[in-house]
Structure 1
Amino acid sequence: MRTTSFIKVILPFFTLLLISCESDPIEPLNQPTVNETTLDNLTYTSIDIQGSITPNGIFINSRGICWDTNPNPSIINNKSSETDNLFTSSISNLIANTTYYYKTYATSSLGTIYGEEMNFNTLSLNNTNWNLDTVYPPSGSIPNGLTIYSRVNFYDDGSTKFDELDLPGQSPGVFITIGSWSLDGNDFTYIWEGNDINNSTYVYIGTISGMEMSGTYTHSSEPSGTWSAIFQ
Structure 2
Amino acid sequence: MKKFNLLFISVLFISTISCSNDEGNNPSKLKIINESSSNNNEATFTSITIKGSIIETNSNSISSRGICWSKTPNPTINNNILTLESNIINNEISNLSVNTMYYFRIFAIVNNKIIYGENISSSTLSLENSKWRFATYYPEGAFSSGTTIESTVNFYADRTTKFDEIGIGQGVFITYGSWSLNDNFLTYIWEGNNPNTSTYVYTGTINGMTIQGTFTHPSTPGTWTATLTD
Q: TM-score range by the shorter chain?
A: 0.7 to 0.9
Matched, 1:158 2:159: yes
Cα separation, partners in 2 of 1:140 and 1:215, compared to 1, 3 Å: closer
SS at match of 2:83: coil
Which residue of the other structure, out of 174, 179, 182, is the alignment partner of 2:180? 182
SS at match of 1:204: strand
Q: How high is the sequence identity, in percent, across the aligned residues?
A: 48
Cα separation, partners in 2 of 1:32 and 1:198, compared to 1, 3 Å: closer
Structure 1's consecutive aligned runs of 4 or more residues displaced over 2 angstroms after TM superposition are 25-31, 37-41, 138-142, 197-200
> Which residues of structure 1 form unaligned runs of 5+?
1-22
- 2 CA distance for matches of 1:113 and 1:27? 11
SS at match of 2:137: strand
Query: Residue type matched to 2:66 in 1?
Result: G
Question: C-alpha displacement at 1:200, in angstroms?
Answer: 5.8
Question: C-alpha displacement at 1:190, in angstroms?
Answer: 0.2
Query: Residue type matched to 1:56 in 2?
Result: T
Question: C-alpha displacement at 1:34, in angstroms?
Answer: 1.1
Aligned pairs, number? 202
- 2 CA distance for matches of 1:154 and 1:128? 5
- 2 CA distance for matches of 1:200 and 1:138? 23
> Which residues of structure 2 form unaligned runs of 5+?
1-14
Query: Residue type matched to 2:225 in 1?
Result: S
- 2 CA distance for matches of 1:59 and 1:134? 55
Matched, 1:213 2:203: no
Equivalent residues in 2 for 1:56-71 (5 A)?
A: 56-57=57-58, 59-71=61-73
Equivalent residues in 2 for 1:15-94 (5 A)?
A: 29-38=27-36, 40-57=41-58, 59-94=61-96
SS at match of 1:81: strand
Give me the TM-score of the superposition, normalised by structure 1.
0.81
1:139–1:223 CA contact under 8 A, matched in 2: no
SS at match of 1:35: strand
Query: Residue type matched to 1:79 in 2?
Result: I
RMSD: 2.2
